[in-house]
Amino acid sequence: VTVHLVGAGPGDPGLLTVRALELLRSCDAVVADTLVCPDVLREVPDDALVVSRAGMSQEQVNELLVRLGRRGLDVVRLKGGDPFVFGRGGEEALALAAAGIPFTVVPGVSALAAVPAAALIPVTHRGVAHTVTLSTGRAENGDEPDYDALVAGGGTIVLFMGLGRLAVIAAGLMQAGLPQSTAAAVVAGGTLPEQEVVVADLAGIAEAAEGLSSPALLVVGDVVRVGVALKQATETAFQHQG
Ligand SMILES: C[S@@+](CC[C@H](N)C(=O)[O-])C[C@H]1O[C@@H](n2cnc3c(N)ncnc32)[C@H](O)[C@@H]1O
């Protein structure tokens, strides 16, 4: 009789947590994000109610969770990545708390570091970057991200939800002081079989990433070069083995 706000990880079903799997296998209802891998939903009991949140507003999702909670069901609210990293899990928790519905939060593997890692980019490589600054590429009210603050962080920049606006974002970062030659990568479909990685300098990243599909993450900073070196090193190692 609880609503569990559960992170499903970045896509690869192998990155679901053990706790998430336990809850899925015993729940009465699931309300799933569209980014969640369909394989994961096969784990729920046959008689469980499965609802996709596709086409629902955030307010409708909040109301649905409260309604299911009031019916005394064990509900899994399955969200991509981690529920509290650009996932609006906080809003759902607040709505449940306001309605007096018990809830738990089950952290998930966020795209934040998992997607760069899947592309061999270590976001805090020692001696290269000791900070990571996160941002959404499109602020809710239509504002641009705070490019000055992102650049002032001085380390790796990870941008969510920016695929359609890469040219504007790159221009904003350069205007805020990043050199055109700063390394950048776009990782699309990270951790999934269809994963694609594009690397370019900041000035060329929008053009290089044309044609990639969502979900995609932008990573900016010298750690991208470490990723490129790692990829080359692995390829060479495999060639020697072969
Ligand atoms: C609404 S946010 C949700 C983030 C999620 N809560 C997390 O912790 O990863 C969706 C954005 O996350 C990023 N993202 C999520 N999964 C991804 C993946 N498998 N590959 C690349 N980017 C991903 C993309 O920027 C996408 O537009």
**Residue 168's pLDDT is what?**
96
What is the per-residue pLDDT across 174-188, written as a single tens digit (0 to 9) for each? Answer: 999 999 999 999 999
| Residue 215 beta carbon below 6 angstroms from any ligand 1 atom | yes
Task: Judge whether 7 and 109 are in contact, CB under 8 Å.
Answer: yes
Q: What is the pLDDT of residues 60-77, one digit of tens each?
A: 999 999 999 999 999 999
Q: Does ligand 1 have an atom closer than 6 angstroms to the CB of 10?
A: yes
Q: For 27-57, where are the alpha helices, taking DSSP H only?
A: 38-41
191 Cβ closer than 6 Å to some ligand 1 atom = yes
pLDDT band with cut points at 50, 70 and 90 for residue 38: confident
Q: Which of 154, 153, 157, 152 lies closest to 170 in space, CA to CA?
A: 157
Average pLDDT of the segment spanning 78-96: 97
Comparing CA positions, the residue from 184, 190, 226 lying closest to residue 205 is: 184
Q: What is the pLDDT of residue 241?
A: 63
Q: Is 160 touching ligand 1 by the criterion CB < 6 Å?
A: yes
Q: Give the whole-angstrom CA distance, residue 108 versus residue 202.
A: 30
- Nearest residue to 25 (alpha-carbon basis) of 41, 14, 13: 41
Ligand 1 centroid–CA 159 distance in Å is 9
- For ligand 1, whether the C-beta of 161 sits within 6 Å is yes
Which residue's structure tokens are 């899994």? 76
Q: What is the pTM of this model?
A: 0.95
Whole-number Å distance, alpha carbon 15 to ligand 1 midpoint, is 14
CB atoms within 10 A of CB 121: 28
Per-residue pLDDT at 66: 97
| pLDDT, mean of residues 76-82 | 97
Measure the CA–CA gap between 213 and 81, rounded to whole angstroms.
18
pLDDT digits (tens, 9 = 90+) for 118-139: 999 999 999 999 999 999 998 6
Q: What local confidence, expressed as pLDDT, does residue 36 receive?
A: 87
* Rounded Cα gap, residues 167 and 184, in angstroms: 12
Mutation pick for ligand 1 pocket among 115, 158, 192, 220 (CB with most ligand atoms within 8 Å): 115
201 membership: H or E segment, kind and range: strand 196-201
